[in-house]
Amino acid sequence: MIPVLPSLLRALLRSFFEVLQPRSEVFPFSLEDELLVSSERYLANFPRFFTWGLTLALLGLNIATSALLLRPVTFRGLPLSEREALCQRWSASRFMPLREVMRLLKILAVMGFYEHPRVMEAMGYRPDEWIAEVSRRRLETYGEEIDR
């Protein structure tokens, strides 16, 4: 049973995933919903206070945006290009906890993204086929020795 993330955290995560998820002509996919599901599954491994901490951190960034841009706006309310610029700035920050939050968000975004079947197909990455092929070859060549 996967616990459901607080709706506030889901909304905040989505606004970051829209920026952080890889996108190009090779990967023309918008996978925010899928990334939320995979993040939910991954974050279920951590104690509840971890999720609260992440929510607070993202809420803080959401609100701090207005102070940084000197106008009344939240991170969620910004257009993509401005969110990108802020994420760049925060990722390269000299303030370590901020960098760590951005690192975690990136991990959540890319881990779910590159595991998605459509992305794997676009990359030509088919590990299960490869494993099946070399496993068969291994047993054909060394089966007797392995069985001993």
Partner 1 sequence: MIHRFDVVVVGSGAGGGACAHALVQAGLDVCLLEEGQRVPRQDQTTRPSEMVSKLYRGAGATTILGRPNIQYVEGRTVGGSTLINGGMCWRTPEGVLQRWVERLADPSLAPEAMTPLFEEVERENGVALQDPESLGLDNLAFRDAALALGWSLRENRRNQRHCAGTNHCILGCPTGAKQSTLESYIPRFEAAGGTLLASTRALSLQRFGGKVGGVFVTAAEGGRRSLIEARAVVLCAGSTYTPMLLWNSGLQNPHLGRHLHLHPTLKTIGLYDRPMVMWKGVHQSHQVTEFIEKEGILLASGSVPPSILAMGVPGFGREHAELMAQYDKMLVIGAMVEDTTTGRIRRLFGHPIPTYFLTQLDLVRIKRALDLTLTMHRAAGARKVLLPLHHLPVVDLDEGPSLLAAHEIDPSEIELMTVHLMGTCRMGRDRHEGVVDSRGKVFGYGNLFVADASVFPTHLGVNPMETIWVLARRTANRILEHREEILGVGRSVPRRSSTSDKKKH
Own/partner contacts of 45-54, CB < 8 Å, gap of 24 or more, are: 51/5, 51/6, 51/9, 54/9, 54/101, 54/104
CB of 77 to partner 1, least distance (A): 19
Nearest CB to partner 1, comparing residues 73 and 84? 84
CB of 106 to partner 1, least distance (A): 6
CB of 64 to partner 1, least distance (A): 19
Helix (H, G, I), strand (E, B) or coil at 116: coil
Nearest CB to partner 1, comparing residues 14 and 23? 23
> Where does this chain bind partner 1 (CB under 8 A)?
19-24, 26-27, 38, 41-42, 45-46, 84, 87, 91-92, 94, 96, 99-100, 104, 106-107, 109-115, 120, 123-125, 127-128, 130-131, 134-135, 137-138, 141-142, 145-146
Instruction: Look up residue 73 and give its DSSP letter.
Output: -
Nearest CB to partner 1, comparing residues 42 and 55? 42
**DSSP-assigned letters across all residues of 13-54:** HHHHHHHHS--SSS-----HHHHHHHHHHHHTTS-HHHHHHH
One-letter amino acid of 93: S
